[in-house]
C-alpha cells in the first residue's frame, strides 16, 4: 500500500533502508516543517552538526555508550581497507556530537538558555523486524532538539514546554496519544527521566511518537560544559533533549487511513485537490478539458492542485487511484456538470459526493477543508478509545493482552513490573500523565496502593 | 573569520567535519533552496534515497568503484564489534544507491525522461588539507540530480539544460565562472564526459563549483535499467547526473567579501537589515528605541530585520560586527535623525552612508536591494578578469603560474598535457567553453594546431 501510494519504495537492496518518492517525501517534509515551525515559535534555533563522531568522544558518557553500543554503526576503514586514524561512530542521535562543541561555545549565563534543533538522518541497526516509516535502520528525518539551562528548575520547565510543543504537533495531525513517564529502570541512557508520547496502531501495537528527556548534569559533567553564573562562579549546565521522526507520518497514515487507502489532512497533503475530467466524445473532451484547466488555474492560486489528464485511464480508475493516495478533495467535471454550472465534489474525510455550483466552489472548498481535521480527529478519538482497554485485575489483563494495549492501576515498583512482564510476556511502557479516569485503590499485581495508571503493551 | 561571523564552527574534534550555527545554516539553506527552485522550474522532482549501500552493489560499475575506493567510508561492524552481514558503503555520491531502484521503477518509455534530485549529506575521506565549506569530509548539502532518457541525444540535451541551470544559479549569486569540459583522461568515473563550472578564489586557486556528467549507458548496462520503447523493444536508458554543494556558499563568501568581512546579497542574507539604535541618555534611549521598534515592525512585513538592542555594546562595535557578518543594509537611528525625520543608511555593497527621509525609507531600501546584485556582479567581474592570465607561450605561463590560473591555447593531446603538467607541477583542468577571445594558431606546448583554450591551475 505504501509503495502503491508512492509514499515509500521498499525494494532497496539493504534491510531497513527505504527510499521516498516525491509524493511521500513532500508529505514528510510538510509534517516535519510544521514541527520546526512550532520549535521556531518557542524560541528554538536551527543548527547543523556532523554525522560522524570519534569513538573516544562517543564513549564518554557511560550509560549512553552502553545503551547504544549494540545499535550504532562504526566506521573503521575506507573501501580500500585503509584504517582510519580513529574509528568514527555514525550518529544514532547527536548528544555526543553537539556537546563537545557546546563546551567551546558556552561561557556565560547570558547565553542561556540555549535551545536548538536539527532535522537529520540517524542510524540504528534495528534487529527486530524493520518496517517502512516505523522501524528503520536509517531514520531520514530525525528532528532532535537540545537545550542547556542555568539550573534544574529551568530544565524541568523546558521539559514541559517540549511536551506542550509535541502535544500541539500531534493534536494538529489529529493523532491521539498518551503521555507516559518511562519507569526509572527503562529511562533513556544518559537521562534522569523521560517522557514519551505513545499512540496505538490498528494492529494493536503501541508506537512511541516522540520522547522528551531531562538529562540533568549527566552529560555536562562528563563533557565539562560550564558557564559563569551571575555571581562569577563556574557551573555545569543542565540539559534536556527531545526528538520526533518520520514515524509521525507512519502514525498519520496508519491511523487516519481506511479500506480505500490513505486519508491526508489538507494542511500536509502534497496534492490537496485532484481534478478528474469526464467525457465520452472528442467534442465533450474539448469543453470538459477547457473547463478543467480554468478551474485548476483558479484554484492553484490558493491550493496544491493536480489535473489528471491521462487519456489512457478511465475516470473510475482515477477515482480509486487518488482516493488510495489520500488526496483530501476530488473535483469531477463532466458535460452535464458544465451544462448545469456545477461540479461534483468527493471529500475524503467523509467519503461522500456532492454537487456544488461552480460559483460557490471556492467557498465550499474552504468549508470542507476547515471541517476536515475536526472530522479526522473525531474518528481518531473513537478509534483510540476502542483500541485501549482498562484492566482492573489480572484476569481482565490476560483476556485483552493479545490484541490491545492495557491500562492498569499500578504501584510503581520494579519487582511488581517484573512479575507482570514475566508472567504475561509484555512490557510496562510507562506511567500515564494525561489519563483522567479516577485511579482505583489497588495495584492489579500486588494489591498494594496504586500510584499510577500504567500502560502495558507491545511496541514497534 | 568564518567562525567569528557565525558561518562555520571549526572546532569539531574530527578533521574535515564542521558544524553550522544558525546564521551560516540559514544562508546555506537559502542558497541551496534557490538551486532547488531552478531544478523544480525545469521539471525535476525531489526524491530521497538511503545513505548507505551494500558493498557488492557499490562495486558494480568498475570505473566508478576504482574512482571512489580511496575516499569512500566503509561500515563493517557495530560499536560492539559485531560484524554486519554485508559491509555498507557510506555514500560519496548516489549513483549506485539510486540506480538499483530505477531498475524496479522504470518500465516504459512513457515514464521517460526521469529527472530527480536530492539534497543530502555525502562523505569523502579527503586527504588533502580540509577547509570549511570548500574541502569537507562530510558535505552536508550535496544537491545531486540524476536523469534517465530514451536516447543519447536527449541525454545530451539534458546536459545542456543542466549547464544552463547551473549558470543561472551562479549568475544569480553574482559569482563569475568558466565552463570547462574535463579532458578525457580526467573524466568523472563512470561518465562518458563531464563539464565543470570553475571559479577562482582570492588565493589564486581554482574552485570547482559544480559538475555535469553524461553517463551514457555505462551504469544502465551494469545495473540493467531498461525500458520498453514505442516499438515494444527493451532498451537500456541513457543517463546524466550533476551536482552542486555548499561550496557555492564558500565561493560566495570568498569572492564578494572585503577587508571588513562578508558581503551577502539581500536575496540570501539571513538578516537583510540590521537596525542599530544610537543614544547617550536614558531619555534619548526611550525615544530612539520606540522609533527603532516602529521601523522594525514596518519593515519586517517585507524583510528579514534584526534590531540590535544589546545595551552592553557600543554602536561602533555593532557597526563592525554586522558589517563583518555581511548584513546588506544597516539603519542607524539617533536622536538627531529623529528630530529631522530621517534615518542613516549604510549599504554594504558600496560601503557608503547616506541620510534618507523616514517616509521614503521603503522606496530607498527597494532601490538599494535592486542595485545590490548589479554592484556585486560588477566588482566580481573585475576581480575575475584580474585573477586569470592568458599565456601565449611557455615563458608567460611560467611567469604567472605561481599565483594565478592560466588560460592557454592547447592542442588537446594527452602527451602534451603530461609535458606541461610534469614540467610546471600544475594541472590542465579542462577546455573552456565560455571564453570568447579568438584562439591563437598554435598550442603553447607543442606548436601543433591549437584546438581549445585550456585552463591550467591548482584546485581545492
Q: What is the pLDDT of residues A242-261, one digit of tens each?
A: 999 999 999 999 999 999 99
Distance, in Å, from the CA atom of B151 to the CA atom of B233, rounded to the nearest integer, reads: 13
User: Does B310 contact chain A (CB < 8 Å)?
Assistant: no
Residue B21 with chain A: CB contacts under 8 Å? 47
Q: Tell whether B359 lies on the interface with A, counting CB pairs under 8 A.
A: no
**Grid cell at residue A388:** 485501549
A79 touches chain B (CB under 8 A): yes
Which of A313-322, B145-154, B385-394 is the least confident region? B385-394
Neighboring chain A residues of B146 at a CB cutoff of 8 Å: none
Q: How far is A56 from chain B (nearest CA, A)?
A: 10
Residue A116 sits at φ, ψ, to 5 deg, of -130, 165
> What is the CB neighbour count within 10 angstroms for residue B384?
16
Number of Cβ atoms within 10 Å of the Cβ of B236: 18
Contact A14 B104 (CB under 8 A): no
Q: Which domains does chain B have, with CATH numbers?
A: 22-256 (3.30.930.10), 273-384 (3.40.50.800), 389-456 (3.30.110.30)
**Smallest CA–CA separation between B195 and chain A, in Å?**
27
Largest CA distance in chain A: 85
Is the pLDDT at A128 greater than 90, yes or no?
Answer: no
Residue B456: how many CB atoms within 10 A of its CB?
Answer: 26
- A436 pLDDT more than 90: no
Cell numbers of B238, please?
541513457
A128 touches chain B (CB under 8 A): no
What is the pLDDT, as a whole number, of residue B403?
83
* Higher per-residue pLDDT: A276 or A426: A276
What distance in Å separates residue B417's CA from the closest CA in chain A?
29
- Mean pLDDT lowest among A425-434, B19-28, B170-179, B211-220: A425-434
Rounded average pLDDT over A380-394:
93
Size of chain A in residues: 460
Q: How confident is the model at residue B72 (pLDDT cuts 50, 70, 90)?
A: very high
The nearest alpha carbon in chain B to A51 belongs to: B138
What distance in Å separates residue B116's CA from the closest CA in chain A? 9
- Grid cell listed for A33: 516543517
pLDDT at A127 > cutoff 90:
no
Task: List residues bridging with B46 in a β-sheet.
Answer: B117
One DSSP character per residue, A196-224 reads: EEEEE-TTS-EEEEEEEEEEETHHHHHHT
B202 touches A at CB < 8 Å:
no
- Which residue of chain A is at minimal alpha-carbon distance from B59? A79
**pLDDT at residue number A381:** 97
d(CA B132, CA A285): 58
pLDDT at position B393, please? 87
Residue range B372-428, pLDDT digits in tens: 999 999 999 999 999 999 998 888 888 888 889 999 999 999 999 999 999 888 899
A89 and chain B in contact, CB less than 8 A: yes
pLDDT of residue A57: 97
Residue B402: what pLDDT?
Answer: 82
CA distances from residue B277 to B98, B309, B343 in whole angstroms, order as listed: 53, 7, 10
Least CB–CB distance from B48: residue in A72, A81, A140:
A140
The conformation of residue B22, written as its DSSP 8-state character, comes to: H
From chain B, the residues in CB contact with A111 under 8 A are: none
Close Cβ partners of A54 (under 8 Å, ≥ 6 residues apart): A86, A87, A88, A89, B13, B14
pLDDT band at A392 (very low <50, low <70, confident <90, very high): confident
Q: What is the pLDDT of residue A301?
A: 96
> Given this model, what pLDDT does residue B446 score?
87
Q: How confident is the model at residue A13 (pLDDT cuts 50, 70, 90)?
A: very high
Check CB contact of A116 with chain B, cutoff 8 Å.
yes
Residue A172 is predicted with a pLDDT of 98
Average pLDDT, chain B: 96
Confidence bin at B121 (pLDDT 50/70/90): very high
Q: What's the grid cell of residue A5? A: 501510494
For residues A269 and A272, what is the distance between their CA atoms, to the nearest angstrom?
A: 6
Please write the tens of the pLDDT for every residue from A359-377.
999 999 999 999 999 999 9
Interface contact B43, partner A, CB < 8 A: no
CA angle A247, A252, A256 (to 5 degrees): 150
Residues 402-431 of B with CB under 8 A from A: none
Interval B78-93 mean pLDDT: 96
Pairing between strand B83-90 and A305-307? unpaired
Cα separation, A424 vs A426, whole angstroms:
5
How much is the pLDDT for B75?
Answer: 98
Residue A226 has pLDDT above 90, yes or no: yes
Q: Is-contact A118 A143, C-beta < 8 A? A: yes
pLDDT average, residue stretch B218-244? 97
Q: Is B72 an 8 Å CB contact of chain A?
A: yes
Q: Does A293 touch chain B (CB under 8 A)?
A: no
Residue with cell 563539464: B195
| Residue A410 pLDDT level (bands cut at 50, 70, 90) | very high
Take residue A446 and report the three cell numbers written for it: 500486588
Please tell me which residue of chain B has the smallest CA distance to A40.
B22
**Block residue for cell numbers 560484524:** B83
pLDDT, position B189: 85
The neighbouring-strand residues paired with A121 are none
Kindly state the average pLDDT of the residues B274-288: 95
Report the alpha-carbon distance of residue A105 to residue A225 in Å, rounded: 9
**Is residue B27 over pLDDT 90?**
yes
A104 and B19 within 8 Å at the Cβ level: the answer is no
Chain A environment of B69 (Cβ under 8 Å): 78-80
CA distances from B24 to A50, A103, B234, B304, B410 (A): 14, 20, 48, 15, 41
- A25 touches B at CB < 8 Å: yes
Confidence of residue A275 (pLDDT cuts 50, 70, 90): very high
pLDDT the model gives residue A402: 82
The predicted structure's pLDDT at residue B405? 94
Alpha carbons A198 and A184: distance in angstroms, whole number: 17
Amino acid at each position: 500500500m505504501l509503495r502503491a501510494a508512492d509514499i515509500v519504495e521498499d525494494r532497496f537492496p539493504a534491510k531497513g533502508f527505504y527510499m521516498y518518492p516525491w509524493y511521500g517525501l513532500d508529505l514528510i517534509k510538510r509534517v516535519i516543517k510544521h514541527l520546526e515551525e512550532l520549535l521556531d515559535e518557542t524560541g528554538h534555533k536551527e543548527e547543523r552538526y556532523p554525522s560522524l563522531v570519534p569513538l573516544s568522544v562517543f564513549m564518554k558518557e557511560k550509560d549512553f555508550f552502553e545503551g547504544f553500543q549494540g545499535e550504532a554503526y562504526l566506521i573503521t576503514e575506507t573501501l580500500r581497507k585503509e584504517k582510519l586514524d580513529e574509528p568514527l561512530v555514525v550518529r544514532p542521535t547527536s548528544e555526543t556530537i553537539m556537546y563537545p562543541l557546546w563546551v567551546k561555545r558556552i561561557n556565560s549565563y547570558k547565553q542561556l538558555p540555549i535551545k536548538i534543533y536539527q532535522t537529520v538522518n540517524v542510524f540504528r541497526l534495528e534487529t527486530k523486524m524493520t518496517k517502512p516509516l516505523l522501524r528503520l535502520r536509517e531514520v531520514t528525518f530525525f528532528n532532535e532538539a537540545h537545550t542547556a539551562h542555568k539550573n534544574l528548575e529551568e530544565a524541568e520547565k523546558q521539559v514541559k514546554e517540549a511536551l506542550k510543543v509535541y502535544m500541539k504537533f500531534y493534536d494538529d495531525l489529529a493523532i491521539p496519544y498518551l503521555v507516559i513517564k518511562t519507569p526509572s529502570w527503562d529511562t533513556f541512557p544518559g537521562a534522569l527521566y523521560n517522557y514519551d508520547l505513545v499512540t496505538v496502531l490498528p494492529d494493536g501495537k503501541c508506537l512511541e511518537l516522540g520522547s522528551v528527556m531531562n538529562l540533568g548534569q549527566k552529560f555536562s559533567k562528563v563533557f565539562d560544559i560550564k558557564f559563569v553564573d551571575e555571581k562569577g562562579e563556574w557551573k555545569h549546565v543542565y540539559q534536556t533533549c527531545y526528538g520526533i521522526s518520520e514515524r509521525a507520518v507512519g502514525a498519520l497514515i496508519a491511523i487516519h487511513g481506511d479500506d480505500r487507502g490513505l486519508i491526508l489532512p489538507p494542511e500536509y497533503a502534497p496534492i490537496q485537490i485532484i481534478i478528474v475530467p469526464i467525457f465520452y466524445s472528442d467534442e465533450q473532451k474539448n469543453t470538459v478539458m477547457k473547463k478543467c484547466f480554468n478551474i485548476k488555474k483558479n484554484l492553484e492560486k490558493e491550493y496544491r492542485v493536480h489535473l489528471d489528464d491521462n487519456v489512457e485511464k478511465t475516470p473510475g480508475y482515477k477515482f480509486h487511484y487518488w482516493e488510495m493516495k489520500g488526496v483530501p478533495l476530488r473535483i469531477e467535471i463532466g458535460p452535464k456538470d458544465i451544462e448545469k454550472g456545477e461540479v461534483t465534489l468527493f471529500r475524503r474525510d467523509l467519503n461522500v459526493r456532492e454537487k456544488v455550483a461552480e460559483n460557490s466552489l471556492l467557498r465550499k472548498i474552504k468549508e470542507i477543508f476547515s471541517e476536515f481535521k475536526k472530522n479526522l480527529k473525531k474518528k481518531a478519538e473513537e478509534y483510540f478509545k476502542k483500541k485501549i482497554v482498562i484492566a482492573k485485575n489480572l484476569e481482565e489483563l490476560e483476556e485483552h493482552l493479545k490484541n490491545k494495549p492495557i491500562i492498569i492501576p499500578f504501584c510503581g515498583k520494579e519487582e511488581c513490573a517484573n512479575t507482570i512482564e514475566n508472567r504475561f510476556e509484555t512490557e510496562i511502557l510507562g506511567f500515564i500523565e494525561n489519563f483522567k479516569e479516577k485511579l482505583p485503590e489497588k495495584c492489579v499485581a500486588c494489591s498494594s496502593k496504586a500510584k499510577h495508571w500504567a500502560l502495558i503493551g507491545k511496541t514497534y
